[in-house]
Structure 1
Amino acid sequence: MLVPWSAETGNDVACICIPWAGAGAAPFRPWAGLLGDTADVYGVRLAGRESRQTEPPATALGDVVDELVRELTELGAPRVALFGHCSGALLAFELAHALRRSGTAPELAHLAVASQLPPRAVRSAPFHEEQDLLRYVPEAFRNEPEMLEVLLPILTADMKLVSDYARPADAPLGAPLTVVYGGCDDELGAAEVDGWREETTGVTAFHEIAGADHLFSGAAWPALAETVRAALS
C-alpha cells in the first residue's frame, strides 16, 4: 500500500500522502524532489488502481486504516507526517487517531489536509450521480469514455468508504495541523474549512492557494507540495 517515492531515504520524517477518491500513488511521485530536504515521501496506493488494479476496492474505512497502521509500524520511521487530499483527508485524519491509539506506531509529526470539509461537518450522503463523481476526475480524462469506464467504479467504491463517515469520539489530536484549500474551489473556502481547528490542540494553519481548483490541477499541484514542505520545515 505504501509506495516509496524518495530515491534516498534518511529523513527523520516520512510523509505519507493519501490521494483523493479514484486516484493512486503516482501523483505524489514528483513530490519526492520537492520535499526531499524535509521528509521521505510515500504515496498510498489503495486496492483497485495502478499496480493493484486487479484487487477489489476496499469496502470498510477501518480495514484500510488498520492496514496502514501495520505498514507504518513496520516501516520503522521515527515520525510520520500525514497528508490527505479530499476524501483522503478523512482517511489521514482517521489514521492519525489510530496511530495515537496504537501505542507502538510512529509519532505523528504533522497532519496536513486539502480540499476537504472538517470531520464534524461531513454529512452522510450517497454518491450515485456520475456528475457528482466527475469533479474528482482530472479534466483531461473527463471526455475519454474508456478512461471513465475504469475510473468511475473505483470512484464509486472510494466514495462509499466515506459516504457514511462519522467522526470518532476521540479527543482532539495534539499535532500541528495545516489546512489547504484552492482559491478557485467552488465548494470550499475559508469559512467551510475553519472547523478543522477544532480537531487539534496544536497549532492550526490555513493556506489558500490562488488559482487552484478542487484537485489542484496544473501549476497548483507543485504549489500544494511546496505548502506542505513549508509546513514540515
Structure 2
Amino acid sequence: MNKLEPSPAKGQSLVSWGAPATSGLALVCIPWAGAGAAPFRAWTPVLGDTATVYGLRLAGRESRRAEPPAETAGEVVSEVVAELADRGVTRVALFGQCFGAVLAFELAKALTHDGHDIEVSHLLVAAQLAPPHFTEADPTAEHDLLQYVPAHFRDEPDFVQLLLPIIAADIGLVSRYVYRPGAALTTPITVVYGARDDQLSRARLDAWRRETTGPTTFHEVAEGDHLFAGDAWLRLAETVRAAL
C-alpha cells in the first residue's frame, strides 16, 4: 500500500502590517470572492491608530496557494476563531466585503453565541445582501466570474487564469451556505454600499436590521462600485474608521 502523501502545512490565515494598535482592538477584514489579504495592507495607515488591521488570507491564494480552498463557511470560521485565540485577541471588529460578508456574519455569530472569550464590538459589511438572502441570486447558476476580478487586472490573462478557479471555489462555498435562524446578534452593524454599485440598492440591504438587537447604520460611498475600486477603496477604509 502506498503511503498517503502528507497534506500541506496550513499557513496563517490572519495577516497584519505595522505595529499593533494601542486600542487593543483587532479588525479582521474578509475580502470578496477570489481575493486575498493583500488589498487590506493599504488600510493600515488609515486605521492603524484605531485598530490592528488583519487581512484574512484564505486557503488557495497568495502564500496559501498550495492548500485546497475551504468548502464551507464553518471551516473558515473554526480556523479564524482558533487563530484569534492563539494570538490572544480579546476584542474584535469584523469587516466582510461581498462574499466576505457571509463569513464575517457567521464569524460574529460563532464568537457571540458559542462561548468564546472574544468580544465582537462591531460587524461591518459591504456590498452584500442580508442573510438569509445571501444566495437569493442563485449562486448555483452560471456566473460571470470576471466581475470579481478588479478591472486593472483583467488585461493580464495569466493572472486572471490563476484567479478564476479560486473565485469559482468561493462562489461554490456560498452556494452551499445555509442560513440558520437563531438568536440575533447584539453587536452594532454597519452596512456600506457603493453609489455606483449596479448589483445592489439601498432598499435591498435594509433586512440587515433584523440580524441584531443593536443599532444598524447605512453608509453610501459616493465613488464606490461593487468592488470599491480605485479611490473608493480608501474611502471605504475611512468609512470603516468612522464607524469604529
Q: CA deviation at 1:127?
A: 4.9
AA paired with 2:142?
A: E
Q: CA deviation at 1:119?
A: 0.9
Q: CA deviation at 1:55?
A: 1.2
Match of 1:134 among 135, 139, 146: 146
Secondary structure, aligned partner of 1:108 = strand
**Partner in structure 2 of residue 55 of structure 1:** 67
Q: Which has the higher helix share?
A: 1
AA paired with 2:233?
A: W
> Within 2, Cα distance between the matches of 1:18 and 1:205?
20
Match of 1:122 among 124, 127, 134: 134
| Higher alpha-carbon deviation: 120-129 or 187-196 | 120-129
- TM-score (normalizing by structure 2): 0.91
**Partner in structure 2 of residue 13 of structure 1:** 25
Native 8 Å contact 1:14 1:79 kept in 2 = yes
Q: CA RMSD in A?
A: 1.4
Q: CA deviation at 1:128?
A: 5.9
> Within 1, Cα distance between the matches of 2:239 and 2:140?
30
> Within 2, Cα distance between the matches of 1:71 and 1:122?
26
Native 8 Å contact 1:127 1:133 kept in 2 = no
Match of 1:2 among 11, 14, 19: 14
Secondary structure, aligned partner of 1:120 = coil
Native 8 Å contact 2:77 2:110 kept in 1 = yes
Native 8 Å contact 1:122 1:166 kept in 2 = no
> Within 1, Cα distance between the matches of 2:177 and 2:54?
25
> Within 2, Cα distance between the matches of 1:193 and 1:5?
32
> Within 1, Cα distance between the matches of 2:209 and 2:111?
20
Native 8 Å contact 1:5 1:43 kept in 2 = no
Native 8 Å contact 1:127 1:156 kept in 2 = no
> Within 1, Cα distance between the matches of 2:157 and 2:140?
20
Q: CA deviation at 1:33?
A: 1.1
Number of aligned pairs? 231
* Structure 1 segments of 4+ aligned residues over 3 angstroms from their partners: 126-130
**Partner in structure 2 of residue 203 of structure 1:** 215
> Within 2, Cα distance between the matches of 1:228 and 1:126?
28
Match of 1:108 among 109, 120, 137: 120
Q: CA deviation at 1:142?
A: 1.8
> Within 1, Cα distance between the matches of 2:223 and 2:20?
33
Native 8 Å contact 1:72 1:105 kept in 2 = no
Q: CA deviation at 1:149?
A: 0.9
Aligned pair 1:226/2:241, yes or no? no
- TM-score (normalizing by structure 1): 0.95
AA paired with 2:60?
A: G
Q: CA deviation at 1:138?
A: 0.2
